[in-house]
Structure 1
Amino acid sequence: MPVEGGSSSGSASAARHPKQKRKAHSLSIRRTNSTEERPPGILRGDMLEGQDSKLPLGLRNNLLDLFGQIEREFENLYIENLELRREIDSLNERLTGDGQAIEGGDPSKGALKAKASHSTSQLSQKLKTTYKASTSKIVSSFKATTGSRALCQLLKEYIGHRDGIWDLSVTRTQPVVLGTASADHSALLWSIETGKCLLRYAGHAGSVNSIKFHPTEQMALTASGDQTAHIWRYMVQLPAPQPPPDVSAPCDDDQDSSDREEGEVDGDGPSEVPTVRVATATLKSHQGVVIAADWLVGGRQVVTASWDRAANLYEVETSELVHTLTGHDQELTHCCTHPTQRLVVTSSRDTTFRLWDFRDPSIHSVNVFQGHTDTVTSAVFTVGDNVVSGSDDRTVKVWDLKNMRSPIATIRTDSAVNRISVSANQRIIALPHDNRQVRLFDMSGVRLARLPRSNRMVRRGRKRY
């Protein structure tokens, strides 16, 4: 609805006079008329009060530019609002005059009222469109002037799976390889530098839902829809790095690798690499899909999470079941272990995640956290003392292990969040969304970048068994 001139000027006046009591180091911004030119000798930093501010001068100037743009946009809105108000008043006067003239029974009375009503509707729609367009300009101005976001570009594609990829992991020891778990019932190991497939594991009879590498040995742990988790050994030899292609040379093949048909692989694809079909150990105590598995610190025990609403703790050497962790009311969605302590976090469709403590060998304790309103799709530890949880309620929350009563940061998204990941060294959170977006945030919830979206359509509803 249009804003009355009096109320607008009142609010503008209130904005011009901030509270008198401020701390000496606080940042206050003087309002300047956008139509007046600044004196040539005055710098932007002089427009900000509080010269002892700890903000860098460049940041202060950037803030001044942003608020100047906002002020100009709202001034334009105010002027347009007054003009639209005058048009509405004029239309109301015409409508009143037409109504008086046709009291005598003019047969065109209905048509006039209908025309006036249609004009009012058009004007109201014009007002809404104007507000929406102006607001979009303000938001765009923020995006254009924010220079802190990183630019990401595609460096390498790993093409070889014939169905969706559920999980990936990187080895912690030499040789450093990438592992991927897929709905095509296989796990593949890749050379990160060349993108060449080095080995395939084909021991599962169902979808491979997760893959994790042993902290010190060449062993991998995979969880599957066949209700088992497998531990298997691998031996790979990294290929020699290839020189970068000559971009100046003409290329006969213009087909982009991202546009290939699903299932199309290169000549050195998985069909021509070594295949491991027998597991070193098979963990089979679950009665449902095993959705995730991870190594505890030291690599002597593993934990698995299942749709049977339980998580199991196993001895690696004997494959013996040590503990069954029960308490979740619905299917588990993920499990993760702390990198340096005997801690496990499990997440579930019951909107909770649980922290299990195995630091005391004689007993284990559990804490339940209800920080979300929908399925908790994953919860992971960071290198520090933090837990990051993501949910279908379109939020991601960062928690401090020393005080888990409330999150220290909340990231709100426009789509449900899938299995999240946190980098080990830079403490960057990667959020894959249902809308094919992958966004990067820091631990305080500040957005850093968005990865380029693939041209491929994501096929939803793939089964994990």
Structure 2
Amino acid sequence: WQPEVAGIPTRVSFEGHSMIGKLSKSPMLGQLLHFSFFWLLTSSSIFFFCINSSGDSTARIWTIPHGHCGSSVQNGPPNSVILKHFKGRTNEKSKDVTTLDWNGEGTLLATGSYDGHARIWSRDGELKSTLSKHKGPIFSLKWNKKGDCLLSGSVDKTAIVWDVRTGECKQQFEFHSAPALDVDWRNNVSFATCSTDNMIYVCKIGETRPVKAFAGHQGEVNAIKWDPTGSLLASCSDDMTAKLWSLKYDKYVYDFKEHQKEIYTIRWSPTGPGTNNPNQQLVLASASFDSTVKLWDVDIGRPLCSFDGHRLPVYAIAFSPNGEYLASGSVDQCMHIWSVKEGRIVKTYSGGGGIFEVCWNREGDKIAACFSNNTVCVVDFRM
């Protein structure tokens, strides 16, 4: 996302592509169509999305043109930079993009692929380096805040910290007994990993053994996230629970058991200590295949409320920058915007496919949603 962008045209038509999907109850600001899809969105100083699944082996950086809601596009469709993960004219499915992350400054983009390579790109699409050591697909990729290290987690059961300046492996961590599904930095030198082996490890650069090993989940651990201060680690699992962990204890601090099916993802609110909204309460959100999103009071370990508006599994959730709203996307083809304070839906957007990722811009007045029909939509949100 570009912070200065004030609006996006109502409808954008792409040469050689037909428009797919339609959003209701709100002006559609833009639709970006790609031939195949991987469901992932991220935000930076420009709008980026990667859609890939059926052998496209590319990622794209889109620069959204200026325009006001309801206006037409004078200069054609958004400009895009194609990041090809293959050479020649034939796409290589083994290079399909699986994950991505911008550095903190929004100047470098890292992508992870099914071929086990991580790649670092400039904003104009130049391949800066290829990081090769994993022996299986990379499922998670994160920059540290300082921007000098990149962390990757792979099906090969290992996590690797890369020296971004040299492109060399700084250290490989081989603690898991099964594929690593997610990784998350605690600070510039320590991080956590989770796996299908039900385990969570907290690691530190330079240490040959885990700082902490967290055992407690009875199913695959799908996602982990440190809170804004780096003092609490949240995790969610196929065992239908979300848990909170602290380095002070060997066992989980809280065990959240309200969901009835697998929990796919979790998100911390951008509120409380360590955020731009320090006077508001810190909460944790969890999204589940039971069609619900739940908010948790992490101070006392109790549920705050349950958002029950979806009819099918919920794959994506994202808090607005001020923490007042939560967007949720589901296989039911709906994206709901919830008032966190009131616990109710304030807006609903309907599309032509299941939604697998949602993302707010930095101003909190636009939301991008990634649909299963190869479409990414940017919609206007103003209360």
* TM-score bracket relative to the smaller structure: 0.5 to 0.7
TM-score (norm 2): 0.58
The aligned runs of 1:188-207 (5 Å cut-off) are 188-190=160-162, 197-207=169-179
Q: Quick one: which amino acid aligns to residue 232 of structure 2?
A: Q
Query: Cα distance 1:218–1:419, how it changes in 2: closer, same or farther (>3 A)?
Result: farther
- Give distance in 2, aligned partners of 1:278 and 1:417: 39
With over 3 angstroms needed to count, the CA separation of the structure-2 counterparts of 1:392 and 1:179, relative to structure 1, is farther
Contact 1:203–1:277 at 8 Å: present in 2 too?
no
Distance 2:198 2:190 in 1: 20
Quick one: distance in 2 between partners of 1:438 and 1:191?
Answer: 35
Post-superposition Cα deviations, 1:182-241, rounded to whole Å, max 9, x if no partner, equal 223222334567765544332211111111111x45211111100011111126xxxxxx
> In structure 2, what is the equivalent of residue 391 of structure 1?
330
Q: Deviations over 1:274-310 (max 9, x none)?
A: xx76321111011111111111232111111111111
Partner of 1:298: 229
Displacement of 1:336: 1.5
- Asked whether the equivalents of residues 271 and 322 of structure 2 are also in contact (C-alpha less than 8 Å), the reply is no
The 3 A distance-change label for structure 1 pair 381 and 187 is: farther
Contact 2:270 2:322 in 1 (8 A): no
CA distance in 2 between counterparts of 1:322 and 1:213 reads 20
CA shift, 1:350, in A, is 0.5
Over 3 Å counting, the alpha-carbon distance change for 1:221 and 1:197 in structure 2 is same
Is residue 444 of structure 1 aligned with residue 373 of structure 2?
Answer: no
Q: CA–CA distance in 2 between the matches of 1:177 and 1:287?
A: 32
RMSD: 3.6
| SS state at 1:210 partner | strand
More helix by share: 1
Is 1:328 matched up with 2:265? no
| Residues 1:164 and 1:377: Cα distance change in structure 2 (over 3 Å) | farther
Correspondence 1:349 to 2:289? yes
CA distance in 2, matches of 1:299, 1:234: 16
Q: Deviations over 1:58-93 (max 9, x none)?
A: x99x9xxxxxxxxxxxxxxxxxxxxxxxxxxxxxxx
Q: How many aligned residue pairs are there?
A: 262
Report the equivalent of 1:179: 151
> What is residue 233 of structure 1 aligned with on the other side?
204
Identify if the C-alpha distance between structure 1 residues 201 and 353 changes in structure 2 by more than 3 Å, giving closer, same or farther: same
Name the CA distance, whole Å, in 2 between partners of 1:217 and 1:165: 21
The one-letter code matched in structure 1 to 2:144 is: T
Distance 1:440 1:390 in 2: 12
Q: Which amino acid aligns with 1:391?
A: S
The answer for the alignment partner of 1:317 in structure 2 is: 248
Given that 1:382 and 1:388 are in contact with CA atoms closer than 8 Å, whether structure 2 keeps it comes out as yes
Contact 1:398/1:443, CA 8 A, preserved across alignment: no
Which AA in structure 2 matches 1:390? G
Cα separation, 2, equivalents of 1:148 and 1:406: 32
Percent identity (aligned): 21
Counterpart contact for 2:189–2:204, Cα < 8 Å: yes
2:345 pairs, out of 400, 403, 406, with 406
Judged with a 3 Å threshold, the aligned counterparts in structure 2 of structure 1 residues 365 and 332 are, in CA distance, closer, same or farther, namely: closer
1:395–1:409 Cα change, 3 Å: closer
TM normalised by structure 1 equals: 0.49
Q: Identify, as 1 or 2, the structure richer in strand.
A: 2
Q: Partner amino acid for 2:308?
A: Q
Distance 1:284 1:407 in 2: 39
8 Å CA contact retained: 2:265, 2:316: yes
Cα distance in 2 for partners of 1:231, 1:407 equals 39
Is residue 381 of structure 2 the alignment partner of residue 381 of structure 1? no
Is 1:165 aligned to 2:177, yes or no?
Answer: no
Structure-1 residue corresponding to 2:98? none
One-letter amino acid of the counterpart of residue 137, structure 2? G
* Structure 1 position 413, deviation (Å): 4.5
With over 3 angstroms needed to count, the CA separation of the structure-2 counterparts of 1:166 and 1:430, relative to structure 1, is farther
* Cα deviations by residue, 1:17-45 (Å, 9 ceiling, x for unpaired): xxxxxxxxxxxxxxxxxxxxxxxxxxxxx
For 1:222 and 1:368, locate their aligned partners in 2 and report how far apart those are by CA, in whole Å.
Answer: 28
Which residue among 278, 302, 318 is the counterpart of 1:364? Answer: 302
- 2:81 corresponds to which of 142, 145, 152: 152
Structure showing greater radius of gyration is 1
Is the 1:428–1:440 Cα contact (8 Å) retained in structure 2? no
Offset of residue 425 of structure 1: 7.4
Q: Is the 8 A contact 1:377 1:419 kept in 2?
A: yes
Q: How does 1:108-147 map to 2 (within 5 A)?
A: 147=76
- Paired with 2:211 and 2:154, the residues of 1 have a C-alpha distance of 20
Change (3 A) 1:199 1:395: farther
Cα distance in 2 between the residues matched to 1:164 and 1:394: 29
Distance 1:354 1:439, change over 3 A: same
Amino acid at match of 1:289: E
Instruction: Give the Å deviation of 1:168.
Output: 2.8
Counterpart Cα distance in 2 of 1:427 and 1:185: 40
Q: Tell me, in whole angstroms, the C-alpha distance in 2 between the residues paired with 1:286 and 1:213.
A: 21
The answer (yes or no) to whether the contact 2:234–2:245 under 8 Å persists in 1 is yes
Partner residue in 1 for 2:114: none
